[in-house]
């Protein structure tokens, strides 16, 4: 069961070009992505309505796609405009077309009722493309359900353990209690961690070696599974408006179910454009990949363990945000299903 009436990130915008046919599965549906000659991104069902061959094995002809099994040709709206040997194509011959929106380098598709596609519900992923911020685009494929990765992002106590030598650096993160608030469409988490060693990856941005810092993490985690986070650190005692040794980051991360048991993970973590240079950006990205592999190893092992668990997971205090988010998602899925069955 997925939430259908929402935007899912399906690709980084540079992955969709005029010369390639990109096949990607979202909510267990095969999708073909390509770009028309005027630069618009098209998302069609990657399955010819005739014998169900993938259109991604087809051919671009102008802005149309020719299925290369039996030659049906579809326009960017999914309408079939040619069947070999047929003079007039019946209008029912078509493939599904998905609403698409490209915002700040993320390509979103709307998987539910197209009439309800609402661009005002797109997340504010501004730092993916913003002159004040620098990053490199990241992607990981997980062989686990997306819910477990959402859980991970909703409880940063794991930074102290999973990321001991990368993003963490102190058991104080796990000791500190965040403020958890409901917001429209998600959960807001605010965590301050005071008077701790700087995490290893902040040293790439500022010369904090040997100092102690105050850290903060402020993020919204919104449906279907998007993290929008401001985080940073500042030497203990420095004034709040003293930016000279302050680390400021902004991160956008999003989880898109590929199937019930596999997930697309698109992410970036930006640093301020006025700090460091290109090699700083590259270094931070590489450190992030190391850290995200730490998560993946743990979550993949957890996922295997859950396959045959004979008892439920146990809820502890640090699970507050993830429990609230799971409840919200389940409620909305339930509502959506109820509406469909009316």
Residues that bind a second copy (CB under 8 A): 28, 30, 46-47, 49-54, 57, 66-71, 83-86, 93, 151, 155, 157-158, 160-162, 164, 171, 174-177, 297-298, 301-302, 305-306, 308-309, 311, 313-314, 316-318
Q: Contact 265/255 with Cβ under 8 angstroms? A: yes
| Cis peptide upstream of residue 111 (ω within 30 degrees of 0) | no
Tokens of 223: 């449906």
Contacts of 48 (CB under 8 A, 6+ apart): 54, 55, 58, 67, 69, 70, 72, 74, 95
Our CB check for a second copy shows the closer of 45 and 247 to be 45
Our CB check for a second copy shows the closer of 134 and 264 to be 264
Our CB check for a second copy shows the closer of 60 and 130 to be 60
What kind and span of H or E run contains 310?
A: none
CB of 153 to a second copy, least distance (A): 13
Rounded Cα distance between 256 and 336, Å, is 18
Q: Contact 98/16 with Cβ under 8 angstroms? A: no
Our CB check for a second copy shows the closer of 123 and 168 to be 168
CB of 8 to a second copy, least distance (A): 18
Our CB check for a second copy shows the closer of 86 and 183 to be 86
Q: Contact 219/225 with Cβ under 8 angstroms? A: no
CB of 87 to a second copy, least distance (A): 11
CB of 85 to a second copy, least distance (A): 5
Main-chain dihedrals φ then ψ at residue 266, nearest 5 degrees = -105, 135
Main-chain dihedrals φ then ψ at residue 33, nearest 5 degrees = -120, 135
CB of 194 to a second copy, least distance (A): 14
Our CB check for a second copy shows the closer of 80 and 117 to be 80
CB of 306 to a second copy, least distance (A): 5
């Amino acid at each position: 069961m997925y939430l259908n009436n929402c935007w899912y990130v399906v690709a980084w915008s540079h992955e969709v070009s005029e010369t390639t046919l990109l096949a990607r599965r979202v909510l267990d549906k095969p999708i073909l992505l390509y770009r028309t000659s005027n630069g618009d991104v098209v998302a069609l069902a990657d399955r010819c309505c005739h014998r169900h061959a993938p259109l991604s094995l087809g051919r671009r002809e102008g802005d149309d796609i020719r299925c290369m099994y039996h030659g049906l040709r579809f326009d960017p709206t999914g309408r079939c405009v040619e069947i070999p040997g047929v003079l007039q194509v019946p209008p029912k011959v078509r493939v599904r077309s998905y609403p698409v929106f490209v915002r700040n380098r993320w390509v979103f598709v709307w998987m539910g009722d197209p009439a309800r596609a609402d661009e005002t519900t797109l997340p504010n992923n501004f730092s993916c493309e913003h002159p004040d911020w620098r990053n490199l685009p990241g992607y990981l494929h997980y062989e686990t359900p997306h819910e477990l990765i959402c859980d991970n992002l909703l409880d940063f106590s794991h930074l102290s353990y999973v990321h001991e030598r990368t993003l963490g650096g102190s058991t104080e993160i796990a000791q500190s209690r965040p403020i958890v608030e409901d917001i429209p469409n998600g959960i807001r988490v605010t965590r301050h961690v005071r008077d701790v060693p700087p995490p290893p990856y902040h040293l790439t941005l500022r010369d904090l070696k040997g100092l102690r810092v105050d850290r903060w993490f402020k993020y919204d985690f919104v449906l279907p599974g998007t993290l929008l986070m401001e985080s940073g650190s500042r030497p203990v005692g420095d004034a709040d408006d003293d930016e000279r040794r302050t680390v400021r980051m902004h991160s956008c991360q999003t989880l898109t179910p590929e199937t019930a048991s596999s997930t697309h993970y698109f992410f970036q973590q930006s640093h301020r454009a006025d700090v460091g240079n290109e090699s700083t950006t590259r270094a931070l990205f590489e450190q992030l990949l190391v850290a995200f592999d730490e998560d993946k190893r743990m979550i993949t092992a957890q996922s295997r363990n859950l396959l045959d668990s004979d008892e439920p997971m146990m809820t502890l205090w640090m699970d507050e945000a993830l429990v609230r988010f799971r409840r919200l998602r389940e409620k909305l899925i339930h509502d959506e299903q109820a509406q469909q069955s009316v």
